[in-house]
Each structure stands twice: as C-alpha cells, then as structure tokens.
A and B are shown apart, each in its own frame.
Chain A
Amino acid sequence: MVNTEVKLCGVSLKNPVVPASGTFGFGVEMADSYDLNILGGISLKGTTRDARYGNECPRIAETPCGMINSVGLQNPGIQAFVEQKLPSVRKHFNGAVIANISGFSIDEYVECCAKADAAPQTDILEVNISCPNVHGGGLAFGTSAKAAAEVTRAVKDVCRKPVFIKLSPNVTDITEIARACEDAGADGLTLINTILGMRIDIRRRKPVLANRYGGFSGRAVFPVALRMVNQVAHACSIPVMGCGGVSCAEDVIEMMMAGATAVQVGAENLRNPFVCKEIAESLPAVMEELGIDSLTEIIGII
C-alpha cells in the first residue's frame, strides 16, 4: 500500500490532487457526477467583495494543446460565497476546501479574506494576485514584489488559517515575488496562474476573445509551470501548490519532484470533467510502478 497523503501547513490532504480555481466551479456543480471525496482538496472559484458578471463572451478560445480564457472573475460576491457556496460544497466534500479570493484594493482583499477565514468550512485561503483578466485589479498586485508583500501582510493580519498567495507567471523573476510573499508571512504559494495570451480570428479580423487578451493554460504550459515551481521551491522554504498544464498522474509526480507539495489541475477539467477523479484513482499504481512508497519522499528532490 502506497501513501498518497500530503500535508499543507498542517492541513492533511488524502492525496495531492486539487482542482484549480476557476476550473471546477464552486465544487457542488460536479457533486452529481462523481464522489468529490476522492479529491485531496478543491480550490473554489475566485471570489471578490461584490458580485461580478465578468467579461463579455466569447470568453474562451482554443489553442494548440491548450486554451485561453477571459472569464473575468464572474462570482456572486463574498457574502453569497460564505453563506451559500461554502456550506453547499461542504455538504458533498470532507477534504480541504480552499477559498480563492481576488480583489481590486488591499481593503477588498482584507475584507474578503477575513470573511472567508471566519467561515467554518474554509481550510486554506488562496489569495489571487495574478488574474490577468480584470483591469486595475489582481495582476497589478502580482507583478510587483512590494505590492505582493503588502497584500500578503494585510491579509495575514486578519487570517488564522493558512494563507497561500497565487502567483502570476507574467513577471520577469517569479522568485523575487515569491520571496517577498514569504518574507511578508505567506504560509504557502500557488503557481502558476495563466500566461497572458491572445488569438485572432483572421477571417473576421478581430480578436477571438471579447476582452482581446486572456489567460493561456492547458497542457502546453506544463513545462513553464514546472520550471517556475522548481525555481520557487529552491528560492523559498514554504510549501508550494504546483499548477499549470497538469493532465495525468505522471504530471503530478513530476510537479512534486519539481517542488510541489500539492498539485492543482486546471484547464484539463474543461476537456475532461472527470480528470481529477481519474488522476486520484491512477496515482497509487503509478507510484508503485515508480517505486514510490510515500509521496512526501519525492517533494522537491530535483
């Protein structure tokens, strides 16, 4: 019997498989399709203080081995998130519930994180300072070490639960931002968010996305995500949730060897809504094949 359990800042996950924020709704959407309890954790859809429609459609465009999206943080607002979405996912899921929070100002991050932290259903907070799809928010905090540290410090002041900061790959040196977050008190880091991208409809001579640009994700970004996870794992001593282009159990192992303690699966859920279940199911056999008794033994060996 292999051991798939991992620990994130004291929170135990039965396995490292976590659907990434924005690719698994608020969890409850999939509860009729399979038993969510096979998952280690779920990172819920990003939430802001006020309800948001997000960007106009088209919000999705395909790319070779991936896709770009510009959903733009559609969500019902923090109040509805805490009162409806969190209790609702908890009815179906006893693993780690990760509340993903976005904002347009430090005050907004603080207010939303405090509310999500106070909710009994939340196990971990994930602070998104890297959304490329909203103007004047999110990413603005994720591309400056100083601003990233400010958000981290302010949020840590009001939270008792572990705080992970979700980092953007759209920076010159991700380790600089990662270290700034660690120094400001972050308990962990999630990376990478999507890479800013674009598609053009050459017949209509217009961008495919109504928002012009969108976040690039999917299998194609896996090597980039892996490299950044590895760099950050070497630069920091706090745990990392690796994210970006993961599509199978072998990718989970690779991401963990690069330095991830848990592994998020994002765009692959859109092509195969059952993929997280399939990865969790196939992980023990892949571990046996590779001679891995416990996943904790491979974290950051590279």
Chain B
Amino acid sequence: MKQSIYTIESNACVADKTWRMRLLGDTSGLERGGQFVDIAIAGRFLRRPIAATCWDAQGFDIIYKVVGQGTDEMSSMQPGTKLDILTGLGNGFDAGLTKDAALVVCGGVGASPAFSLVKELVRLGRKVTVVLGFNKESEIVLEDEYRTLGAHVIVATMDGSRGVKGLVTDAISLEKPEYDHFYTCGPKVMMKAVCEALEGNGEASLEERMGCGCGICYGCTCHTTDGPRRICADGPVFSKEEIIW
C-alpha cells in the first residue's frame, strides 16, 4: 500500500454514466491488473475503491461508473485537481496461470480491472479472447482498446443493440472460444454464472462495499473454502474453486 497525492490530467465521460480519469503521480505501487486504488474525496468520510485500468511511469487510468454521490462528485472534478489516493491495493489477477490461451469475461465497468491483465497476457504471447457484456450499446467501454492490444473481442448486449444479443454466457456458448484458463470481473450474478458455466480453472474479482480497503477493518469479508477472507487484502481476485458464492 502506498499513499500519495495525484493530479487529475483528464476526466471525461466515455460511455453511459461511465467516466475515465487519468491521474498523474507515483505508480510504483501498481504491479498487476485487477489491483485497485482508494480515492479520498473531500467531504466524504470513506474513500472510493476503484480498479486501476492501466498505468505507466507517469500515472494511471481508472474507469468508473456514477453509482452514488461520491462518484457523481468525481465526475465533475476538473483537470489539475489534486487527490489523496492509496495505491497498490489488492492482489490482482495472475497472468501466469494461463499456459496458451485465456478467456476473459467482463460485465459493464468490470471491463476495466481486466485491461492490464490482458495487456500482460498479450506480452507473454498468450492468445486472449475477451467477452464484454453490457446492457446496451451506449454502455460499451474499452472494446477498441482491447482490440488494439491484440485480443479477440466478442461483445454481448442484453438488448441486442450491439454484438450477440443476450448474456456473456450466451456469447461464450455461441462462439466457443478456446482457453486453458479464464478470468472474470463484473456483477456478482454474472461471475457466478460464468464460474458455473465454464469448465477448467479460473479467477474472479469480487467486489463489496469497503471500509479501509487495506485489510484492517474486516468490512468486506467473503466466504471461501479457506474460511473467511478479506476481499480488499486477500483478494479481490480469488480462484473459482475457493469462492463460496
């Protein structure tokens, strides 16, 4: 965990109620895709935990959905604003678990935490299929960026306004992508369905309302085969086998 002050370089609406913010500052705490940062917002008691989409030596990006007053306030923050942020939180996905081909299944803004994972998988020379599920076309994020990385991208929308009509699991049964390891991030019901539908080993990134974000308050515990685990500090990524849904 590292605490530092970051400066907003850009903050723009990239899809329906969805914003992308780039923050400049120390990124040495970020190591793996799926890790998150915890952002202090003036006037709000608790920080807002949000996954890092990608990073470089100068800064990192987050993609967030406006779901409440805190994220609503974030959406009106101007470039130049300084924010107190904890970085390098959580374990992140393990790209090393994929031998040849990975299947990455995301729902909504769950497309964001997996982005740096896919970047790493491609760097390691793995074949990657990314399935992105959204309610409708106006919610789609990162589709082009995933293609640019070199992944095979399949989009599914619930209303059929783009790609396969239906759930990500519908798209997977239709396209039958090859993989030896899968990763999933999105709404809990989706990840549960993905873990139940897909054969073989996989990892899922869980989400919960958090207190501290760094493992000291035990506010975001989940059930696992290894007993109670803290989503923020022991996760958020857990293997399919250990999660008790």
Contacts and interface: CB of A to CB of B under 8 A. Distances in A.
Same assembly = yes
Interface of A: 22-25, 29-30, 32-33, 45, 51, 53-54, 57-67, 69, 71, 74, 208, 218-219, 267, 269-274
A71 B45 CA distance: 18
A273 B84 CA distance: 12
Contacts of A267: 45
Given A29-B216, A60-B219, A272-B40, 18 more contacts: A25-B216, A54-B218, A59-B219, A60-B220, A62-B44, A62-B45, A62-B46, A66-B45, A67-B46, A67-B211, A71-B217, A71-B219, A74-B218, A74-B228, A208-B209, A270-B217, A271-B47, A273-B214
Contacts, number: 94
Interface string B37-52: 0001000111100000
5 closest A-B pairs (Cβ-Cβ)? A60-B219, A25-B216, A270-B212, A58-B209, A270-B211
Contact of B217 (A23, A57, A58): A23
B223 interface: yes
Contacts of A69: 211, 217, 219
Interface in B21-44: 40, 44
A65 B45 contact: yes
Contacts of B1: 32-33, 273
The number of chain B residues touching the other chain, given as a range, is: 20 to 34
Contacts of B70: 62
Interface in B189-245: 208-212, 214-223, 227-228, 233
B221 A54 contact: yes
B161 interface: no
A29 B221 CA distance: 15
B3 interface: yes
A24 B216 contact: yes
Nearest to B69: A62
